[in-house]
Amino acid sequence: MQDARHADLVELRRDLHRHPEPAWREFYTTSRIVEECERIGVDELHVGPDALADGDRTAVPDDAELQQWYDRAREAGAREDLLDQLKGGYTGAVAVLERGEGPTVALRVDIDGLPREESESEEHTPVREGFRSETGAMHACGHDAHATIGIGVLETIAESDFQGTFKLLFQPGEEMVAGGKPMADSGHLDDVDYLLAVHVGLDHPTGEVVAGIDDFLAVHHFRADFSGAPAHAGNEPNAGDNAVQAMATAVQNLYAIPRHGDGPTRVNAGMVGGGSATNIVPEEAFIEGEVRGQSTELMEYTREHAERILDNAAAMHGCSLSLSTVGGAPSAESDGALVDIIHEITTGMASVETATERDALGGSEDATYLMREVQENGGLAAYVCVGTDHPGGHHTATFDVDEKSIAIGVNTLTDSIHEIAERRP
Protein backbone atom coordinates (compact mmCIF):
# COMPACT_ATOMS: atom_id res chain seq x y z
CA MET A 1 0.00 0.00 0.00
CA GLN A 2 1.20 3.48 -0.80
CA ASP A 3 2.19 5.66 2.09
CA ALA A 4 -0.32 8.34 1.14
CA ARG A 5 -3.17 5.88 1.11
CA HIS A 6 -2.08 4.53 4.48
CA ALA A 7 -1.86 8.03 5.91
CA ASP A 8 -5.41 8.74 4.75
CA LEU A 9 -6.65 5.53 6.36
CA VAL A 10 -4.90 6.35 9.62
CA GLU A 11 -6.50 9.78 9.57
CA LEU A 12 -9.92 8.22 8.99
CA ARG A 13 -9.37 5.70 11.79
CA ARG A 14 -8.42 8.44 14.21
CA ASP A 15 -11.46 10.48 13.24
CA LEU A 16 -13.69 7.48 13.96
CA HIS A 17 -11.76 6.82 17.18
CA ARG A 18 -12.60 10.31 18.40
CA HIS A 19 -16.30 9.66 17.80
CA PRO A 20 -17.13 6.20 19.18
CA GLU A 21 -20.86 5.55 19.26
CA PRO A 22 -22.59 2.53 20.86
CA ALA A 23 -25.24 0.36 19.19
CA TRP A 24 -27.85 2.14 17.04
CA ARG A 25 -26.22 5.47 17.86
CA GLU A 26 -23.56 5.30 15.09
CA PHE A 27 -24.80 8.52 13.47
CA TYR A 28 -21.46 10.23 13.03
CA THR A 29 -19.73 6.98 12.12
CA THR A 30 -22.25 5.98 9.46
CA SER A 31 -22.31 9.43 7.86
CA ARG A 32 -18.52 9.53 7.79
CA ILE A 33 -18.36 6.08 6.18
CA VAL A 34 -20.98 6.97 3.58
CA GLU A 35 -19.00 10.09 2.65
CA GLU A 36 -15.99 7.87 2.03
CA CYS A 37 -18.02 5.47 -0.11
CA GLU A 38 -19.32 8.40 -2.16
CA ARG A 39 -15.81 9.70 -2.59
CA ILE A 40 -14.59 6.31 -3.84
CA GLY A 41 -17.63 5.86 -6.05
CA VAL A 42 -19.81 2.78 -5.71
CA ASP A 43 -22.62 1.30 -7.79
CA GLU A 44 -25.12 0.97 -5.00
CA LEU A 45 -25.22 2.50 -1.54
CA HIS A 46 -27.86 1.34 0.97
CA VAL A 47 -27.94 3.54 4.04
CA GLY A 48 -29.64 3.05 7.41
CA PRO A 49 -33.08 1.40 7.07
CA ASP A 50 -32.14 0.19 3.56
CA ALA A 51 -29.29 -1.84 5.03
CA LEU A 52 -31.41 -3.61 7.65
CA ALA A 53 -34.43 -5.91 7.85
CA ASP A 54 -37.54 -4.42 9.33
CA GLY A 55 -38.64 -5.26 12.82
CA ASP A 56 -35.61 -7.25 13.87
CA ARG A 57 -33.79 -4.72 15.96
CA THR A 58 -33.30 -5.27 19.69
CA ALA A 59 -31.52 -3.09 22.27
CA VAL A 60 -32.69 0.12 20.62
CA PRO A 61 -32.31 3.00 23.08
CA ASP A 62 -35.24 5.26 23.88
CA ASP A 63 -35.98 8.41 21.87
CA ALA A 64 -34.31 10.79 24.29
CA GLU A 65 -31.09 8.81 24.20
CA LEU A 66 -31.19 8.54 20.40
CA GLN A 67 -31.81 12.27 20.05
CA GLN A 68 -28.88 13.09 22.28
CA TRP A 69 -26.44 11.09 20.13
CA TYR A 70 -28.06 12.37 16.97
CA ASP A 71 -27.54 15.97 18.07
CA ARG A 72 -24.00 15.21 19.14
CA ALA A 73 -23.22 13.79 15.70
CA ARG A 74 -24.60 16.89 14.02
CA GLU A 75 -22.54 19.16 16.26
CA ALA A 76 -19.48 17.05 15.47
CA GLY A 77 -20.00 17.81 11.77
CA ALA A 78 -22.00 14.89 10.39
CA ARG A 79 -23.76 15.76 7.13
CA GLU A 80 -27.38 16.74 7.69
CA ASP A 81 -28.76 14.93 4.65
CA LEU A 82 -27.10 11.70 5.72
CA LEU A 83 -28.19 12.00 9.34
CA ASP A 84 -31.70 12.44 8.06
CA GLN A 85 -31.62 8.91 6.64
CA LEU A 86 -30.55 7.43 9.98
CA LYS A 87 -33.42 8.73 12.09
CA GLY A 88 -34.71 6.33 14.72
CA GLY A 89 -31.29 4.80 15.09
CA TYR A 90 -31.23 2.99 11.75
CA THR A 91 -27.46 3.06 11.40
CA GLY A 92 -25.06 1.09 9.21
CA ALA A 93 -24.71 0.87 5.43
CA VAL A 94 -24.07 -1.50 2.52
CA ALA A 95 -21.89 -0.44 -0.43
CA VAL A 96 -21.82 -2.44 -3.67
CA LEU A 97 -19.30 -2.53 -6.55
CA GLU A 98 -20.48 -4.32 -9.68
CA ARG A 99 -17.60 -5.36 -11.89
CA GLY A 100 -19.18 -7.75 -14.39
CA GLU A 101 -19.27 -11.55 -14.42
CA GLY A 102 -17.90 -13.30 -11.40
CA PRO A 103 -18.79 -14.35 -7.90
CA THR A 104 -20.34 -12.15 -5.27
CA VAL A 105 -17.86 -11.62 -2.48
CA ALA A 106 -18.84 -9.73 0.67
CA LEU A 107 -16.82 -8.24 3.51
CA ARG A 108 -18.49 -7.48 6.83
CA VAL A 109 -17.01 -4.94 9.24
CA ASP A 110 -18.61 -3.74 12.45
CA ILE A 111 -18.58 -0.07 13.40
CA ASP A 112 -19.88 0.50 16.93
CA GLY A 113 -18.08 1.55 20.11
CA LEU A 114 -18.46 0.49 23.74
CA PRO A 115 -20.23 2.41 26.53
CA ARG A 116 -17.10 2.93 28.63
CA GLU A 117 -14.61 5.72 29.38
CA GLU A 118 -11.25 5.79 27.60
CA SER A 119 -8.02 6.06 29.55
CA GLU A 120 -6.68 9.55 30.23
CA SER A 121 -3.12 8.34 30.74
CA GLU A 122 -0.37 10.06 28.79
CA GLU A 123 0.96 6.60 27.99
CA HIS A 124 -2.19 5.91 25.99
CA THR A 125 -1.44 6.84 22.37
CA PRO A 126 -4.85 8.37 21.58
CA VAL A 127 -4.30 10.77 24.50
CA ARG A 128 -0.74 11.63 23.52
CA GLU A 129 -1.57 12.10 19.87
CA GLY A 130 -4.84 13.87 20.40
CA PHE A 131 -7.50 11.50 19.19
CA ARG A 132 -8.97 10.27 22.47
CA SER A 133 -12.73 9.75 22.49
CA GLU A 134 -14.88 12.88 22.67
CA THR A 135 -18.16 11.11 23.29
CA GLY A 136 -17.83 9.38 26.66
CA ALA A 137 -17.92 6.02 24.85
CA MET A 138 -14.81 4.24 23.53
CA HIS A 139 -13.54 2.23 20.59
CA ALA A 140 -12.12 -0.37 22.96
CA CYS A 141 -12.45 -3.29 20.57
CA GLY A 142 -10.97 -1.91 17.35
CA HIS A 143 -14.13 -1.38 15.33
CA ASP A 144 -12.68 1.97 14.23
CA ALA A 145 -9.93 -0.04 12.54
CA HIS A 146 -12.47 -2.48 11.10
CA ALA A 147 -14.46 0.26 9.37
CA THR A 148 -11.22 1.81 8.13
CA ILE A 149 -9.95 -1.50 6.74
CA GLY A 150 -13.31 -1.85 4.97
CA ILE A 151 -12.85 1.54 3.27
CA GLY A 152 -9.27 0.61 2.33
CA VAL A 153 -10.41 -2.66 0.76
CA LEU A 154 -13.27 -0.93 -1.08
CA GLU A 155 -10.98 1.65 -2.60
CA THR A 156 -8.37 -0.94 -3.59
CA ILE A 157 -10.92 -3.27 -5.15
CA ALA A 158 -12.57 -0.33 -6.94
CA GLU A 159 -9.26 0.58 -8.57
CA SER A 160 -8.42 -3.03 -9.52
CA ASP A 161 -9.40 -5.42 -12.30
CA PHE A 162 -11.60 -7.42 -9.92
CA GLN A 163 -14.31 -9.37 -11.82
CA GLY A 164 -17.56 -9.98 -9.99
CA THR A 165 -19.61 -8.20 -7.35
CA PHE A 166 -18.13 -6.86 -4.15
CA LYS A 167 -20.34 -5.94 -1.20
CA LEU A 168 -19.10 -4.11 1.83
CA LEU A 169 -21.35 -4.45 4.90
CA PHE A 170 -20.91 -1.86 7.68
CA GLN A 171 -22.74 -3.51 10.55
CA PRO A 172 -23.95 -1.54 13.58
CA GLY A 173 -24.51 -2.81 17.11
CA GLU A 174 -22.12 -5.75 17.34
CA GLU A 175 -21.19 -5.10 20.97
CA MET A 176 -24.82 -5.57 21.94
CA VAL A 177 -25.06 -8.58 19.54
CA ALA A 178 -28.00 -6.62 18.17
CA GLY A 179 -27.03 -5.58 14.65
CA GLY A 180 -26.09 -8.94 13.15
CA LYS A 181 -29.56 -10.40 12.80
CA PRO A 182 -31.23 -7.39 11.08
CA MET A 183 -28.35 -7.18 8.61
CA ALA A 184 -28.36 -10.95 8.00
CA ASP A 185 -32.09 -10.77 7.26
CA SER A 186 -31.86 -7.66 5.07
CA GLY A 187 -31.69 -9.52 1.77
CA HIS A 188 -28.24 -8.14 0.96
CA LEU A 189 -26.69 -11.54 1.67
CA ASP A 190 -29.05 -13.56 -0.52
CA ASP A 191 -26.70 -13.65 -3.50
CA VAL A 192 -23.41 -13.71 -1.63
CA ASP A 193 -21.12 -16.62 -2.56
CA TYR A 194 -18.27 -15.78 -0.19
CA LEU A 195 -18.38 -13.84 3.03
CA LEU A 196 -15.36 -12.56 4.89
CA ALA A 197 -15.51 -10.97 8.31
CA VAL A 198 -12.53 -9.40 9.98
CA HIS A 199 -11.37 -8.64 13.50
CA VAL A 200 -8.13 -7.10 14.70
CA GLY A 201 -6.15 -8.22 17.72
CA LEU A 202 -7.72 -10.97 19.83
CA ASP A 203 -4.33 -11.35 21.49
CA HIS A 204 -2.53 -11.97 18.19
CA PRO A 205 0.38 -9.56 17.60
CA THR A 206 0.97 -7.31 14.63
CA GLY A 207 2.22 -9.41 11.74
CA GLU A 208 0.12 -12.48 12.49
CA VAL A 209 -2.99 -13.29 10.48
CA VAL A 210 -5.37 -16.14 11.37
CA ALA A 211 -7.20 -17.39 8.29
CA GLY A 212 -10.15 -18.90 10.09
CA ILE A 213 -11.49 -18.14 13.53
CA ASP A 214 -13.86 -20.71 15.06
CA ASP A 215 -15.50 -21.56 18.32
CA PHE A 216 -17.79 -18.59 18.51
CA LEU A 217 -19.84 -19.05 21.65
CA ALA A 218 -23.54 -18.78 20.95
CA VAL A 219 -24.91 -15.99 23.11
CA HIS A 220 -28.24 -14.76 24.40
CA HIS A 221 -28.45 -11.36 26.02
CA PHE A 222 -31.48 -10.70 28.22
CA ARG A 223 -33.09 -8.11 30.44
CA ALA A 224 -35.10 -9.25 33.47
CA ASP A 225 -37.23 -6.76 35.36
CA PHE A 226 -38.59 -7.74 38.75
CA SER A 227 -41.59 -5.83 40.00
CA GLY A 228 -42.80 -6.15 43.57
CA ALA A 229 -44.48 -3.87 46.08
CA PRO A 230 -42.91 -1.12 48.17
CA ALA A 231 -43.40 -0.73 51.91
CA HIS A 232 -41.92 1.28 54.71
CA ALA A 233 -38.91 -0.74 55.80
CA GLY A 234 -39.29 0.30 59.44
CA ASN A 235 -43.05 0.15 60.04
CA GLU A 236 -44.17 -2.81 58.05
CA PRO A 237 -41.52 -4.59 56.03
CA ASN A 238 -44.07 -7.41 55.79
CA ALA A 239 -46.21 -5.32 53.45
CA GLY A 240 -43.58 -5.27 50.72
CA ASP A 241 -42.68 -7.69 47.96
CA ASN A 242 -38.95 -7.24 47.79
CA ALA A 243 -37.65 -7.08 44.23
CA VAL A 244 -34.01 -6.83 45.38
CA GLN A 245 -34.31 -10.09 47.29
CA ALA A 246 -35.71 -11.68 44.14
CA MET A 247 -32.84 -10.30 42.10
CA ALA A 248 -30.17 -11.41 44.56
CA THR A 249 -31.67 -14.92 44.70
CA ALA A 250 -31.59 -15.02 40.91
CA VAL A 251 -27.98 -13.83 40.72
CA GLN A 252 -26.82 -16.46 43.21
CA ASN A 253 -28.55 -19.22 41.28
CA LEU A 254 -27.73 -18.00 37.76
CA TYR A 255 -24.02 -18.34 38.32
CA ALA A 256 -24.71 -21.77 39.81
CA ILE A 257 -26.43 -23.23 36.72
CA PRO A 258 -24.87 -26.69 36.36
CA ARG A 259 -21.89 -26.87 34.06
CA HIS A 260 -22.57 -29.02 31.00
CA GLY A 261 -20.69 -32.22 30.21
CA ASP A 262 -20.75 -31.52 26.47
CA GLY A 263 -18.83 -28.25 26.44
CA PRO A 264 -18.34 -24.77 27.83
CA THR A 265 -21.20 -22.58 28.93
CA ARG A 266 -21.16 -19.10 30.42
CA VAL A 267 -23.43 -16.94 32.55
CA ASN A 268 -23.03 -13.33 33.53
CA ALA A 269 -25.29 -10.97 35.44
CA GLY A 270 -23.39 -8.08 33.99
CA MET A 271 -25.53 -5.19 35.14
CA VAL A 272 -27.93 -5.18 38.05
CA GLY A 273 -29.77 -2.65 40.13
CA GLY A 274 -32.80 -2.07 42.27
CA GLY A 275 -34.56 -0.07 44.94
CA SER A 276 -35.27 3.60 45.40
CA ALA A 277 -34.46 4.59 48.97
CA THR A 278 -32.85 3.12 52.03
CA ASN A 279 -36.06 3.04 54.01
CA ILE A 280 -38.32 1.62 51.34
CA VAL A 281 -38.61 -2.10 50.65
CA PRO A 282 -37.40 -2.24 47.03
CA GLU A 283 -40.25 -2.37 44.54
CA GLU A 284 -38.16 -2.72 41.39
CA ALA A 285 -34.95 -4.47 40.39
CA PHE A 286 -33.36 -5.69 37.21
CA ILE A 287 -30.68 -7.93 35.79
CA GLU A 288 -29.20 -7.37 32.39
CA GLY A 289 -27.19 -10.44 31.61
CA GLU A 290 -26.13 -13.06 29.15
CA VAL A 291 -25.77 -16.79 28.73
CA ARG A 292 -23.43 -18.46 26.27
CA GLY A 293 -22.60 -21.91 25.02
CA GLN A 294 -20.05 -23.52 22.75
CA SER A 295 -22.97 -24.53 20.56
CA THR A 296 -26.40 -23.06 20.17
CA GLU A 297 -27.74 -26.11 22.05
CA LEU A 298 -25.47 -25.47 25.01
CA MET A 299 -26.50 -21.83 25.04
CA GLU A 300 -30.17 -22.85 24.95
CA TYR A 301 -29.59 -25.29 27.82
CA THR A 302 -28.18 -22.45 29.89
CA ARG A 303 -30.92 -20.06 28.79
CA GLU A 304 -33.66 -22.46 29.82
CA HIS A 305 -32.11 -22.84 33.26
CA ALA A 306 -31.69 -19.08 33.53
CA GLU A 307 -35.32 -18.46 32.69
CA ARG A 308 -36.50 -21.05 35.17
CA ILE A 309 -34.38 -19.40 37.84
CA LEU A 310 -35.60 -15.91 37.02
CA ASP A 311 -39.25 -17.02 37.05
CA ASN A 312 -38.99 -18.74 40.38
CA ALA A 313 -36.85 -16.10 42.04
CA ALA A 314 -39.55 -13.58 41.21
CA ALA A 315 -42.42 -15.81 42.35
CA MET A 316 -40.54 -16.72 45.54
CA HIS A 317 -40.67 -13.06 46.60
CA GLY A 318 -44.16 -12.25 45.31
CA CYS A 319 -42.76 -10.31 42.37
CA SER A 320 -43.72 -10.38 38.72
CA LEU A 321 -41.06 -10.85 36.08
CA SER A 322 -40.77 -9.17 32.73
CA LEU A 323 -38.16 -10.83 30.56
CA SER A 324 -36.98 -9.56 27.20
CA THR A 325 -34.30 -10.36 24.66
CA VAL A 326 -31.69 -7.68 24.16
CA GLY A 327 -29.59 -9.47 21.60
CA GLY A 328 -27.96 -12.71 20.64
CA ALA A 329 -25.96 -14.69 18.18
CA PRO A 330 -25.58 -18.34 17.22
CA SER A 331 -22.33 -20.27 17.04
CA ALA A 332 -20.63 -20.74 13.66
CA GLU A 333 -17.60 -22.23 11.97
CA SER A 334 -15.33 -20.88 9.23
CA ASP A 335 -15.50 -22.99 6.05
CA GLY A 336 -12.37 -24.99 5.30
CA ALA A 337 -12.28 -24.26 1.57
CA LEU A 338 -12.29 -20.53 2.19
CA VAL A 339 -9.87 -20.71 5.08
CA ASP A 340 -7.47 -22.63 2.84
CA ILE A 341 -7.44 -19.84 0.23
CA ILE A 342 -6.83 -17.14 2.82
CA HIS A 343 -4.17 -19.16 4.59
CA GLU A 344 -2.38 -19.74 1.29
CA ILE A 345 -2.49 -16.03 0.43
CA THR A 346 -1.22 -14.91 3.83
CA THR A 347 1.49 -17.54 3.88
CA GLY A 348 3.07 -15.80 0.93
CA MET A 349 2.62 -12.19 1.98
CA ALA A 350 5.66 -10.14 2.97
CA SER A 351 3.88 -8.15 5.66
CA VAL A 352 2.56 -11.29 7.34
CA GLU A 353 5.19 -12.72 9.64
CA THR A 354 3.02 -15.50 11.01
CA ALA A 355 0.27 -17.07 8.94
CA THR A 356 -1.90 -19.13 11.30
CA GLU A 357 -4.53 -21.40 9.86
CA ARG A 358 -7.06 -21.65 12.64
CA ASP A 359 -7.75 -20.40 16.15
CA ALA A 360 -10.63 -20.42 18.59
CA LEU A 361 -12.41 -17.26 19.68
CA GLY A 362 -13.94 -18.35 22.94
CA GLY A 363 -16.20 -15.31 22.80
CA SER A 364 -19.29 -14.32 20.88
CA GLU A 365 -19.90 -12.30 17.72
CA ASP A 366 -23.03 -11.68 15.75
CA ALA A 367 -21.13 -11.97 12.47
CA THR A 368 -22.25 -15.56 12.98
CA TYR A 369 -25.76 -14.60 11.83
CA LEU A 370 -24.30 -13.39 8.53
CA MET A 371 -22.00 -16.41 8.21
CA ARG A 372 -24.89 -18.81 8.78
CA GLU A 373 -27.11 -16.92 6.33
CA VAL A 374 -24.49 -17.30 3.61
CA GLN A 375 -23.75 -20.91 4.54
CA GLU A 376 -27.43 -21.84 4.49
CA ASN A 377 -27.67 -20.39 0.99
CA GLY A 378 -24.80 -22.64 -0.12
CA GLY A 379 -22.06 -20.04 0.16
CA LEU A 380 -18.85 -20.10 2.17
CA ALA A 381 -17.82 -17.89 5.08
CA ALA A 382 -14.64 -17.23 6.99
CA TYR A 383 -13.80 -15.02 9.94
CA VAL A 384 -10.29 -13.60 9.63
CA CYS A 385 -8.19 -12.22 12.46
CA VAL A 386 -5.58 -9.55 11.66
CA GLY A 387 -3.19 -9.44 14.58
CA THR A 388 -2.35 -6.14 16.21
CA ASP A 389 -0.24 -5.25 19.22
CA HIS A 390 -2.70 -3.93 21.75
CA PRO A 391 -1.35 -2.48 25.03
CA GLY A 392 -4.55 -3.07 27.01
CA GLY A 393 -6.94 -6.01 26.65
CA HIS A 394 -10.09 -5.82 24.55
CA HIS A 395 -12.82 -3.80 26.29
CA THR A 396 -10.38 -2.15 28.69
CA ALA A 397 -9.58 1.55 28.97
CA THR A 398 -6.12 1.25 27.45
CA PHE A 399 -6.98 -0.86 24.41
CA ASP A 400 -5.50 0.53 21.20
CA VAL A 401 -4.54 -0.85 17.78
CA ASP A 402 -1.16 -0.77 16.09
CA GLU A 403 -2.01 1.20 12.96
CA LYS A 404 0.41 -0.86 10.88
CA SER A 405 -2.16 -3.63 11.07
CA ILE A 406 -4.59 -1.53 9.04
CA ALA A 407 -2.40 -1.93 5.94
CA ILE A 408 -1.90 -5.62 6.68
CA GLY A 409 -5.64 -6.07 6.96
CA VAL A 410 -6.35 -4.26 3.70
CA ASN A 411 -3.70 -6.25 1.86
CA THR A 412 -4.76 -9.61 3.27
CA LEU A 413 -8.41 -9.11 2.46
CA THR A 414 -7.87 -7.54 -0.97
CA ASP A 415 -5.52 -10.31 -2.09
CA SER A 416 -7.86 -12.96 -0.72
CA ILE A 417 -10.85 -11.45 -2.52
CA HIS A 418 -8.93 -11.39 -5.80
CA GLU A 419 -7.85 -14.97 -5.33
CA ILE A 420 -11.40 -16.06 -4.52
CA ALA A 421 -12.69 -14.37 -7.68
CA GLU A 422 -9.98 -15.87 -9.85
CA ARG A 423 -10.39 -19.42 -8.56
CA ARG A 424 -14.09 -19.42 -9.16
CA PRO A 425 -14.76 -21.89 -11.96
Contact status: 163 vs its own copies (CB under 8 A):
no
Question: Shortest Cβ distance from residue 425 to its own copies (Å)?
Answer: 38
**Min dist. Cβ of residue 189 to its own copies (A):** 25
Can you tell me which of 39, 128, 395, 423 binds its own copies, judged by CB under 8 A? 395
Least distance in angstroms from the C-beta of 32 to its own copies: 24
What distance in Å separates the CA atoms of residue 337 and residue 380, rounded to the nearest whole number? 8
How would you list the strands of the sheet with 164-171, edge to edge? Answer: 44-47, 93-99, 164-171, 104-110, 194-200, 380-386, 208-214, 354-360
How far is 290 from 273, CA to CA, in rounded Å? 16
Q: Looking at 12, 210, 285, 371, which residue binds its own copies (CB under 8 A)?
A: 285
Partnered with residue 45 across adjacent β-strands are 95
Run of H or E including 70: helix 63-75
Q: Does 248 bind its own copies (CB under 8 A)?
A: yes
Exactly one of 232, 322, 325, 422 binds its own copies (CB under 8 A); which one?
A: 232
Q: Is residue 235 within the footprint of its own copies (CB under 8 A)?
A: yes
Considering only residues 101-120, where is the footprint of its own copies by CB under 8 A?
Answer: 114-116
Please choose, out of 118-126, 143-151, 305-313, 405-413, the segment that lies near its own copies by the rule CB under 8 A.
305-313
295 belongs to the binding site for its own copies (CB under 8 A): no
The stretch near its own copies (CB under 8 A) out of 75-83, 150-158, 192-200, 277-285 is 277-285
Q: Which of 93, 117, 118, 121 is closest to 107 using CA atoms?
A: 93
The one-letter code for the residue type at 7 is A
Binding of its own copies by 7 (CB under 8 A): no
Stretch that binds its own copies, among 6-14, 102-110, 206-214, 238-246 (CB under 8 A): 238-246
* Closest distance of CB 309 from its own copies, Å: 5
Query: Can you name the residues that pair with 104 across neighbouring β-strands?
Result: 165
Give the shortest CB-30-to-its own copies separation in angstroms: 21
* Dihedral of alpha carbons 328, 389, 147, 395, sign: positive
Annotated binding site for Mn(2+): 141, 143, 175, 199, 395
Among 98, 316, 324, 353, binds its own copies (CB under 8 A): 316
Q: Which of 290, 373, 400, 402 binds its own copies (CB under 8 A)?
A: 290
Note the residue count of the chain: 425
Task: Report how far apart, in Å, the C-alpha atoms of 267 and of each of 70, 272, 299, 366, 394 are.
Answer: 34, 14, 9, 18, 19
Q: Which string of b and e fits 106-144 if b means at least 16 CB within 10 Å?
A: bbbbbbbbbbbebbeeeebbbbeeebbbebebbbbbbbb
Q: Are strands 93-99 and 44-47 parallel, antiparallel or unpaired?
A: antiparallel
The correct pick among 249, 346, 412, 416 for binding its own copies (CB under 8 A) is 249
Which residues line the annotated binding site?
141, 143, 175, 199, 395
Distances (CA, A) of 178 to 43, 183, 267, 416: 28, 10, 18, 28
Q: Which is nearer to its own copies, 16 or 314 (CB)?
A: 314
User: Judged by CB, which is closer to its own copies: 142, or 152?
Assistant: 142
Q: How far is the CB of 216 from its own copies (least distance, A)?
A: 9
